[in-house]
Amino acid sequence: MSARELQRTAIRMLHDPTFLAAVMRNPEVALSGLDLNDAERAMLAKTDARAWAVDGHRSWRVLTALLSEFAVTVAATREAPHALDAFFGTPHFHEAIRARRSLSAGFADYLASRHTDRRITAMLALEAAFARVRRGVRAVAVAVPEGALTAWEAAAALLRREDPVAALMRGARPRITLGRGVEHVLVEAAGAALIDKALYDVLVLAETGATHEQLLASIESGGATSEEAEEVLADLIRDGLVAPSPKLSAAQR
């Protein structure tokens, strides 16, 4: 018996009419694999289907919040905002709920699964990084096509002249122009800025749980001496950009 599983399943039923119908039609199949007991399965299946749909604007409110976070990306797709409510019927939505991931991460995966245009994927990388930072990640480093940060800032400013969702609804389509090269961007709560590749490499390596020695080696590969590398890493740890990692003992090296 799992109260959390019951709650997560109810959320899925509230937002996905297809899943709701499947539960109503054949709960044994639709709810298979879930940590629910017989009483909980029966309760979900026997509740009047109309009760689940009493708030017809529930999904739109959630989608509005997601559109606000990914406004530039959605503008770049040229898709009608309302059409993106299909997200609630996808594995990206259901897995986000079941795995207790943020819906913004699931929505980012959904958009990524639908588009390969480099202008769209560049805007998505930046906005997904901002979404992570808003949810408590100290900073996120991303590699995007040259000119992406400037293009995103201009597009975001254009959409912010009014409510971003309202701008999307009226068909605002900012122009996004990218170069042929690659730029590296550090996204923080205070904003985003370009960084050099050496710093980007260290920050990305740190996210993998690299050891202190591995981080030092990455810094030294950029031309720093061992003493300089220690100072750089100490600064990154002090600034909160890198979490302290355990040092290997002489026997472990």
pLDDT at 56: 83
Instruction: Say if residue 253's pLDDT is above 50.
Output: no
Last residue of a domain, one of 17, 32, 52: 52
Q: pLDDT digit string (tens) for 91-108?
A: 999 999 999 999 999 999
Closest CA to 111 of 83, 73, 85, 137: 73
185 and 74 belong to one structural domain:
yes
Per-residue pLDDT tens digits for 127-181? 999 999 999 999 999 999 999 999 999 999 999 998 999 999 999 999 999 999 9
Is residue 248's pLDDT more than 60? Answer: no
- Calculate mean pLDDT across residues 12-26: 95
The DSSP call for residue 117 is -
Domain membership of residue 223 (yes or no) is: yes
* Residue 87 burial (C-beta neighbours within 10 Å; 0-12, 13-18, 19+): buried
Res. 249: pLDDT tops 50: no
Residues 87 and 135 in one domain: yes
- Residue 65: give the domain boundaries: 58-195
| Same domain (yes/no): 97, 215 | no
**Pair 71, 191 in one domain:** yes
Residues 35 and 97 in one domain: no
pLDDT(1) > 70: no
My answer on whether 109 and 152 are in the same domain is yes
Q: pLDDT tier at 247 (50, 70, 90 boundaries)?
A: low
Do 47 and 105 lie in one domain? The reply is no
Residue 250 within any structural domain of the chain: no
State the pLDDT at residue 251.
45
Contact predicate 41/138, CB 8 Å: no
- Report the domain count for the chain: 3
Sheet with strand 139-145: strands edge to edge = 139-145, 182-188, 191-195
The average pLDDT across 206-223 equals: 94
- Mark whether 213 and 177 lie in a shared domain: no
Mean pLDDT of the chain: 93
* Whether residue 226 sits in one domain with residue 178: no
What pLDDT score was predicted for residue 70?
A: 98
pLDDT of residue 246: 65
User: In this structure, are residues 61 and 14 in contact, taking their beta carbons and an 8 Å threshold?
Assistant: no
Asked if 187 and 111 sit in the same domain, the reply is yes
Q: Could you give the residue ranges of the DSSP H alpha helices within the chain? A: 3-15, 17-25, 27-30, 38-46, 49-52, 58-69, 71-77, 91-98, 103-114, 118-134, 148-159, 164-169, 197-207, 212-221, 226-238
pLDDT higher than 60, residue 68:
yes
Inform me whether the pLDDT recorded for 231 exceeds 70.
Answer: yes
